[in-house]
Amino acid sequence: MSGSEIGLLVVVVLAIGVLLLAIFSPRRFVRGFMRPLLGLLYRKQVIGLEHLPRDRGYVICSNHVSWIDGILLLWMLPKNVRFIVDGANFNTRIGSYLGKAFDTILMYSGPKSIGRALKTAREGLNHGEVIGIFPEGTITRTGQLQAFKPGVQKILKGTDAAIMPVWLEGMWGSIFSFSGGKFFFKRPTQLRRTITLYIGEPLPADAPLELVRSNVQSLGSRAAMEHRHRYPTLARRVIRVWRKKGSQIQCADSMGTEVSGRDLLIRVLALRRVLRREILGRDESTVAVLLPPSVAGVATNVALAMDRRVTVNLNYTVSSSVMNHCINDAGVQHVLTSEKFLSKLDLKLDAAVVLLESLRDKITAWDKAVAFIQGVLLPAVVLDRVLGLHKVNEDDLLTIIFTSGSTGMPKGVMLTQANISHNVDAVSRTVRLGYDDVVLGILPFFHSFGYSVTLWSVMTLGPTGVYHFNPLDARQIGKLVAKYKATVFLGTPTFLRGYLRRVEPEHFASLDVVVVGAEKMPADLFDAFEQRFGIRPVEGYGTTELSPLVSVNIPPTRSSAKYQVDRIEGSVGRPFPGVAVRIVSPEDGTEQMTGQNGMLLVTGPNVMKGYVNQESLTRKVVQDGWYVTGDIAHVDDQGFLFITGRLSRFSKIGGEMVPHGRVEEEIAKVYANCHQDAETIEADDDNSVADRPMVCVTAVPDVKKGERLIVLHLATSKTYDEVRTELVAAGLPNLFIPSQDSFLQVEEIPLLGTGKLDIKGAQMVAKAHFGDA
């Protein structure tokens, strides 16, 4: 035979061999084809293989992010996994072939088919096989972990198999995930993705479903923390977004300043140059900013970030002594502010004050020319290196934000690049801010919500930011929304209540999303706001130490889930992607089950680096990576978080925990029905008491019962006995009802500058009047 004939024969034999392999051993055929293909497309890493049982069957319980999760798990795990899947998805010839190749268990609608699938799975487990299931039942649309369906418990009934929680990390953003709001038809964002499989420790067959979900969620949080280097450096991202915005308005404020993305970038680069040359020392790492939400506030914060400085936005609602405490604690040498703003504050600061107006004359023509070249002409990757942004590490500090001081002297919370960048990513996935949005920013940048969302999320995700310095100035806020056609508003319930009376419905006509936080949203305010403005607010939850975002209900107009519950009113939503929550008993630390109240713990890449100069306090509140929030909460069977109150706002009376918030809520309802009519209140008074809380419940020590509830309240026509009678009618237990001599009328309820209750201030008022009973 000639060489060509021999070659042809070899090809024919190989073809026949491949065909026979495909017919008689489809699993080997498919694996032989898929393994090299997947190896070419993805890098894989498996963590926790040692946890897989060798002497019994087990069920793989995985999160579900993409269409090819099952294929990836088959590729990454050492044994074949028999997945239980919806048979309707395997009705094609190729689907049927692949299903048979891997002994897939097909389950169709109807009790008989479901029963057969469960029986087959149990038999497989009893024979030492591996069964795979995606307990969410569907692919996540946001990266958040959905509710687990009870199928896994039915599969395990009557077996001694183990439950293996696993987390597949790295597929969000791929063309097979729902990132970008759609499946498929997306350009790949990475040439070769790294896929990491985290395998948790085995759980017994009778483990509660919520415990299985909690373990999967914790693995997801671990994955997010270990891959936090993937979160983009915010200053680098700003450069690209502002350039893309070009001549479109990027930033505006109520003082009449409007600036495009391109011009803002040039101004920020010029400001950075003059600050480096004229003001800031080379080794001066931390710089304070004393400015309201405004174009100047945005520009100053971004300029410092581009210079790799740590910013401290100072709370301008506190006294000089408290502000100087923050300045000294953070090691601040210079405070950047404006003459116009500083003149309104009676402050004496322990640092050199730099007025931004004084820097204008110091910006030379050369500074402007260089800033133009950098901002417009240099490629972004080159500009990154010129500014040194390529040296920024994910664990480098970005800011120090001081707590509100509602329970004591403010503490400096150190937040890293990854902390804030994670928050930005979370907002992008859930609320889906984009270039078509206009966000109204009224929260100050010394507030973590204002800093992370209305500053960095807005500046790096593409929306236009419109800012106003006074969140109580309802009329001006209404005009700004109408002028710029704002689509997104972020605030607090206290602020929303003020807008009900002073903002015309047509001014808020463009609003598409209203998210509130910082305090519990009263049930009646949802209806009142929707009735007046045609949009229903949603609640979220966070705290400064968590950068601050933890969870959110998805706004109705931003929901991309037709068959997934993504908001429950009264809750604060599901945790953001990468964030895990755990509810534990305050007494012994045991994990609580569905619906049981306990201490809320949170972990994820949003957990702070620590408190400034307070290592012992940091160790106390961050335990094994979990932040102890101090909030009492529970999680429902859908995975939604409900905040009951703060532990510090509970009183132990006669051995029972009494929640101040619950008592406060019921008294507020009583007072709301009899409070002064709007006609007796000046309609033009934008700081009317009608918009402020009418009631605050606090406590003082009591010798007999441990503590005694105290009610601070505004003027009311109700007698205290009438109030107590209505509390009984509302179903409050006797221990929850304050005594007749425990009410104190005050001119106003103590509030912080952010609109939150001043808990420490309320306690001081109560103790000053009642003493230690």
Q: Where are the domains of the chain?
A: 26-226, 654-770
Structure tokens at 413: 């919370």
**Which residues in the chain land under pLDDT 50?**
18, 21, 676-690
What's the pLDDT at 560?
A: 75
User: Any alpha helices (H) in 520-636, and if so which ranges?
Assistant: 523-533, 615-621
Q: Long-range contact list for 179-183, CB < 8 A, 24+ apart?
A: 179/143, 179/429, 181/432, 181/560, 183/67
What's the pLDDT at 682?
A: 41
Nearest to 472 by CA among 451, 433, 501, 452: 501
d(CA 22, CA 34): 13
The separation between CA 161 and the C-alpha centre of its own chain, rounded to angstroms, equals 36
User: How far is the first Cα of the chain from the last one, in angstroms, to the nearest whole number?
Assistant: 110
d(CA 625, CA 619): 10
d(CA 478, CA 245): 25
Nearest to 261 by CA among 252, 271, 274: 252
What's the pLDDT at 215?
A: 94
* Residue 773: exposure state from Cβ atoms within 10 A (0-12, 13-18, ≥19): middle
For CA atoms 765, 766, 767, 771, give the dihedral sign: positive
Domain 654-770 in the same topology as domain 26-226: no
Please give the model's pTM, rounded to 2 decimal places: 0.83
Q: Which residues contact 706 (CB under 8 A, 6 or more apart)?
A: 651, 652, 653, 654, 655
User: What's the pLDDT tens digit per position in 446-492?
Assistant: 989 999 999 999 999 999 999 999 888 888 999 999 999 999 999 88
Cα torsion through 608, 609, 613, 616, rounded to 10: 80
Instruction: Tell which CATH architecture fits domain 26-226.
Output: 3-Layer(aba) Sandwich (3.40)
- Residue 726's CB is within 10 A of a number of other CB atoms, namely 18
Cα torsion through 729, 732, 733, 736, rounded to 10: -130
Helix or strand run (H / E) with residue 413: strand 412-416
Report CA Rg, the chain. Answer: 29
Return the CATH number of 654-770, one of 3.30.460.10, 3.30.300.30, 3.20.20.70, 3.40.30.10.
3.30.300.30
What's the pLDDT at 680?
A: 37
Q: Is residue 634 helix, strand or coil?
A: strand
Residue with tokens 């290196």: 385
What's the pLDDT at 23?
A: 56
Q: Could you say which DSSP state residue 571 is in? A: B
d(CA 408, CA 336): 26
